[in-house]
Amino acid sequence: MKEKLIDLFEYTYHFNQKMITVISENISKVDEKTISLINHTLNAQQIWNSRVLGEASFEVWQMNPFENLQEINQQNLKNSIQIIESSDFDQRIEYQNSKGTKFENTIFEMLFQAINHSTYHRGQINALLKQNGIAPILTDYIFYKR
């Protein structure tokens, strides 16, 4: 299980990096929503990691300096792998969402949420890239494995 989760986070990292690169190469053509979504995608993984690790987290829609996004993505991967390698996936973690509502989920559920959430938003970013005349990236997992 650990190896499969690490593979999924490496996939997430890989295509986040590609998205950051494409956005950077086409910065004059992308809109604010695209920049906001790539930030949100990275912020969300950082937030889920921080909930498990008991660390301070980003804000959900925080705008980070664009030049820091690759580093944030790399730190997210490092922290996600640390969690995978050192955690009991069935352990339940209590946390508050951005509105202050309390929830409790297993570490596995939180990790899977981070992966699934980023996949969803990369799809949105691809749609925005296409609308702005930029070729979307094929981000399906199978393309990563080929």
Per-residue burial over 21-46, b if 16 or more Cβ lie within 10 Å, else e, is ebbeeeeeebeeebbebbbbbbbbbb
- The SS3 call for residue 16 is helix
Q: Is 14 annotated as a binding residue?
A: no
Residue 121 phi, psi (nearest 5): -75, -30
Q: Is 40 annotated as a binding residue?
A: yes
- The binding site for a divalent metal cation consists of 40, 117, 121
- The binding site consists of 40, 117, 121
